Amino acid sequence: MVKRRVVKKKATRSRRLPPPPPVEPPPPPRYPSLIDLSGPEVPPDTWAGEYPPPEFTTDWVEGRGHAWTHWLASLTNQPVSALELGTFEGRSALWFLRNVLTHPASLLTCVDAWSYDYTGGFGQEQLSADSGTTLEDARQRCLRNLRPYMRRGRCAVVTMNTQEFLRTRRPEQMFKLIYVDASHYASCVLEDTIAAWWHLAQGGIMIWDDYEWVLDHRQDKHELGRPKLAIDAFLSVFEEQYEVLGMGYQVCIRRTTKNPFE
């Protein structure tokens, strides 16, 4: 009987591939009039040393957090590029940065002229009486409040008229979230909305503030001095291109059609 010789094969070790390099978040874009602050990264919501607690003279965000959390759930902690038209002291911007735009690659661009020509019926005296501040003080306060996120490349603040800013944007530069709360004159709201619409990506969300707002101290309470007329006009003309997520004092829609510039 012939015995067969069994040859044992040596076990070979599988070569492990090196892990892929980490994806670096894109740098913040450069704009004219951009207040650019560079510095070390700080943990979110760490207000120590040179970062004092945020300060505000008004609270026009109270009561909105619950609706925002619901409407923006799909964007939370995602690499989102967002745009805020009208920033004032930065309270709403700070809420978005802390609660929605938490991904390290997210970027919020805040645009405000901080000019009495675009305050939607608020003159200097009335604004000072209602908020206890001036627009220049509000601008400086906004910069201090958002400084930690600006230093981390998570927020950019642009001192410019919103319509001029939107005209300078390249068509292919898209946002997934646009918050419209700049001038409250109907003509300005309509211009801001239509110009911003062409920069809203499919599936992106647009929110308007003060849909039901009435400025009691104005002698002229004509509809042209309020955002509602402009918002209604846009919703009527573009009615087949969005779905309504919420409608009350604020209006929120999601774009359902593809942006031709995407």
Residuewise pLDDT in 10s, the chain (262 residues): 555 565 555 555 556 666 666 655 554 443 333 333 333 344 445 543 456 678 888 777 878 888 999 999 999 999 999 999 999 999 999 999 999 999 999 999 999 998 866 544 444 444 544 556 788 888 999 999 999 999 989 999 999 999 999 999 988 899 999 999 998 889 999 999 999 999 999 999 999 999 988 766 554 557 788 899 999 999 999 999 999 999 999 999 999 999 998 8
pLDDT score recorded for residue 215? 67
pLDDT score recorded for residue 118? 52
Rounded distance, CA 121 to CA 140, Å? 22
pLDDT score recorded for residue 80? 96
pLDDT score recorded for residue 121? 46
Residue 204 CB contacts under 8 Å (≥ 6 apart), including other chains:
174, 175, 176, 177, 178, 254, 255
**Tokens standing for 29?**
């874009």
pLDDT score recorded for residue 32? 34
Q: Note whether 214 and 226 are within 8 A (CB).
A: yes
pLDDT score recorded for residue 31? 36
Q: What fold characterizes domain 81-255?
A: Rossmann fold (3.40.50)
pLDDT score recorded for residue 96? 95
Half-sphere exposure of 24 (CA within 13 A, CB side): 5
Nearest to 174 by CA among 72, 255, 86: 255
- pTM of structure: 0.77
Rounded distance, CA 75 to CA 80, Å? 7
